Each structure stands twice: as C-alpha cells, then as structure tokens.
C-alpha cells in the first residue's frame, strides 16, 4: 500500500493550508481538515517541523550516529531496550536496523565531549547493550528530502596518476 497523497504532500511541506491542499489534490477543504485532524488524533501525524540548515543558522551542536548491538530479551526482542534508549533527551532518533548492529541511534549534544559522555555513562551502561560504534556528522548534504547546497561542482574531478 502506498502513502496517501495527502500525507505525502504534508510530509513534503507541512505549511500548506487546508485550502491549498484541497486545490492541489482536488478535494473539499472540509474533507482535508477532517482527515488531517483524524490523523493527528490517531497518531498517524505525530508533529510538524522545519528542516533547518544548521550550518547557516549557526548551530554548533554535535550530532552522532551510533550503532548499538543489543542482547534481545526473551518475549520482547529489542523493543523494551529500544524504547528505553529512545526516551533519553539527547536521542533525536532511534531505529531498529538490519546488518551488523541492531539499533541506529542519532544523538545530539552541545559538544563532542557531551556526546561521548552520553555514550559512555548512559548508553553503554544499560544492561543488554553489548557494544556501540559512534560516527560523528561532519556535514549535511541532504536531509528529509532537502538538499542544503544548490551549487553543482563545475566540470569533472581531476584524475591524477
């Protein structure tokens, strides 16, 4: 099943008015308002946010992508541990993943030291966390479908012997 066109439109630009959405999708404005309200009530739409170019905004926070290996719990798998990790204020996102690790956790903090402290004092001390591997975000090129730099590099890259 594909995503509802109304949800798709809202995920691309949440600032559309109900009237604009109705015109774009050829729907009744009251129907759009009712569907959006129902999705907000049932938890389909959890919130709205702006995509910020952090460098442009002068944001000096440090972000890290942390691979976490867990011991699955009998009867619960990874869910209880994942939800415990997701509840930390420093955690921006937490995903169950396939591959060499179980969770991908995205963390933000005011400094590299604070992110490292979170990993060493909070995350890695949780019973069931076997190991972590931390990768720091150096530069964002695209986020939530938005490209940060519009300039294309000129010509081909130089190849040297």
Q: Residue 131: helix, strand or coil by DSSP? A: strand
Q: Find the helix or strand (DSSP H, E) in which 70 lies.
A: strand 62-70
pLDDT value for 159: 76
- The token duo for 12 is 């691309």
pLDDT value for 155: 65
Digit-by-digit pLDDT tens for the chain (161 residues) are 677 888 888 888 888 899 999 999 999 999 999 999 999 999 999 998 888 888 888 889 999 999 999 999 888 789 999 999 999 999 999 999 999 999 999 999 999 999 999 999 999 999 999 999 999 999 999 998 889 886 666 666 677 76
pLDDT value for 146: 86
Burial of 111 (0-12, 13-18, 19+ CB in 10 A): exposed
pLDDT value for 49: 85
User: What contacts 24+ positions apart, CB below 8 Å, involve 88-97?
Assistant: 88/118, 88/122, 88/123, 90/114, 90/115, 90/118, 90/122, 92/63, 97/67
Burial of 64 (0-12, 13-18, 19+ CB in 10 A): buried
| Chain-centre distance for alpha carbon 54 | 15
Q: How many CB atoms lie within 10 A of CB 37?
A: 12
Contact 40, 110 (CB under 8 A): no
pLDDT value for 153: 62
In the chain, what are the domains? 5-42 (1.10.10), 55-139 (3.30.70.920)
């Amino acid at each position: 099943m594909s995503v509802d066109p109304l949800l798709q439109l809202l995920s691309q630009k949440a600032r559309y008015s109900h009237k604009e959405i109705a015109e774009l999708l050829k729907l009744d404005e009251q129907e759009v308002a009712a569907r959006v309200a129902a999705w907000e009530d049932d938890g389909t739409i959890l919130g709205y946010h702006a995509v910020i170019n952090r460098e442009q905004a002068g944001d000096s926070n440090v972000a890290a992508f942390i691979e976490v290996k867990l011991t699955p719990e009998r009867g619960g798998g990874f869910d209880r541990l994942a939800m415990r990790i997701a509840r930390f204020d420093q955690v921006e996102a937490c995903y169950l993943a396939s591959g060499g690790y179980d969770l991908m956790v995205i963390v933000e903090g005011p400094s590299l030291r604070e992110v490292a402290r979170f990993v060493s004092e909070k995350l890695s001390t949780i019973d069931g966390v076997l190991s972590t591997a931390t990768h720091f975000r150096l530069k964002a090129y695209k986020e939530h479908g938005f490209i940060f730099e519009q300039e294309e590099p000129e010509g081909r890259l130089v190849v040297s012997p």
